[in-house]
Structure 1
Amino acid sequence: MSVLLGVHGLRKRHGERTLFDIGQLSIEAATAYVLTGVNGAGKSTLLRTLAGLERCDSCTVEFDGQRLPLHPYPKALRRAIVFVHQHPIMFSTSVFHNIAYGLLARGDSSRSVAPVVEEAMAWAGVAHLRDTDPARLSGGEKQRVALARARVLQPRLLLLDEPTANLDGPAREQVMALIPTLLDRGGSVVMACHDRDLIGLPGIHRLKLRDGRLEYR
């Protein structure tokens, strides 16, 4: 398996505290990972750093064999890496337009976007909510819309922050059922989570952030 993303010397400080100091992080292509660790270990910050939402103090990056900076965050990574927040922010329009937003922002035509969004809504089980204001959605429905919004962008690397946190049983199961299918297009997924069932999914590689260091399991 080839390395999709390799990061060396990834350090992040909060004031006087070193949140993490990771000598090497390697994410292989078409592979799923869970990132575990106690609350406050820096899991969310690590994902946000990889997505360009937090600045790393020191690191070098290779993406798909090309050496790139993490700051300023390069366009190649912005197109290839998508971050899904634990509490996704939704625009007060409709489910359809929320999922379409990223494609339209890239300059794709409305005509080409429509069938892609329709397919993504069917995949996420939210087609019946097509014209609904996201403010009226449940937590599980919002998470499925967020996954569909990420999926249409066809990311090479998808970063999920606690995708099943605070969901009830049926909603959690619906979201969990979608996650393995995110690999169908050959991308990689890294999920920060505490969910034992997610951690135990077949074929999932484990990463643990402990005392600022990254352990491979």
Structure 2
Amino acid sequence: MTPLLRIHGLRKRHGERTLFDIDTLAIEAAGAYVLTGVNGAGKSTLLRTLAGLERVDACTVEFEGRSMPLYPYPKALRRAIVFVHQHPILFSTSVFHNIAYGLLARGDSRRSVAPVVEEAMAWAGVAHLRDTEPARLSGGEKQRVALARARVLQPRLLLLDEPTANLDGPAREQVMALIPTLLDAGSSVVMACHDRDLIGLPGIHRLKLRDGRLELR
């Protein structure tokens, strides 16, 4: 089976230091992966590279069997890959408009967007916060809004940077419960994390970044 995404020769340097040098990274369609490694190993930078937010040295990319460059970042990847930051940046509007933003930016009509956003808010358990300003949300609520904002875009690949970090017990469990449903919807998910419960979810493949190399475990 052809992987959803395969990258060859993925290399990133910070000054004289090689942060990572990865011969091949392959992500299967509807696959779930955790990316582990010590602090400073380059996990977040790797996710940002895949999302087109960090430039890397020359490499080759195959997306759904089609060859393309990673830089300039291709439109096909920009539409298919969504990155969710550990500390999501939300606009100072409302929960509804934050979730709707990406769809409206793509040119979807407000009429078609509204029911999609309503369904996503229900999925994320934030429907009761529909008109709330993000500044009033807890960390767990912000993370669930960010996941809903990503989900409505129907990404082929979702990149999550420490999705449960700094959340209390109930909030962490609420976010964790959403992950399997993203996979059920057909998205591949790669999560940089240290959370043992996320790492131990059924069917999760473990990628470990160590000394600049990527190990599949």
TM-score class normalised by the smaller sequence? over 0.9
CA offsets, 1:132-177, max 9 Å, x none? 0001000000000000000000000000000000000000000000
Aligned length: 217
SS of the residue 1:100 aligns to: helix
Q: Give me the identity figure in percent.
A: 90
Normalised to the residue count of structure 2, the TM-score between the two structures is: 0.99
Query: Which residue in 2 is equivalent to 1:162?
Result: 162
Which ranges of structure 1 fall in alignment gaps of 5 or more residues? none
Runs ≥4 in structure 1, deviation > 3 angstroms? none
Gaps of 5+ in 2: none
1:15-40 per-position Cα deviation (integer Å, ceiling 9, x unaligned): 00000000000000011000000000
**Secondary structure in 1 matching 2:4:** strand
Distance 1:139 1:116 in 2: 24
Question: Structure 2 CA distance, aligned partners of 1:139 and 1:202?
Answer: 26
> What is the distance in 1 between the residues matched to 2:2 and 2:24?
15
Confirm or deny: 8 A CA contact 2:2 2:65 kept in the other structure: no
Structure 1 position 2, deviation (Å): 3.3
**In 2, Cα distance between equivalents of 1:187 and 1:141:** 22
SS in 2 for 1:21: strand
Question: What secondary structure is seen at the aligned counterpart in 1 of 2:88?
Answer: coil
Give, in whole Å, the separation in 2 of the partners of 1:157 and 1:2: 15
Give the CA RMSD over aligned residues.
Answer: 0.6
Deviation at 1:115, TM superposition (A): 0.2
Which residue number in structure 2 is paired with residue 177 of structure 1?
A: 177
C-alpha displacement of 1:79 = 0.2
Q: Deviations over 1:180-217 (max 9, x none)?
A: 11011211000000000000000111000000000001
Q: Which residue of 1 aligns with 2:38?
A: 38
Are the counterparts in 1 of residues 164 and 175 from structure 2 also a CA contact under 8 Å?
yes
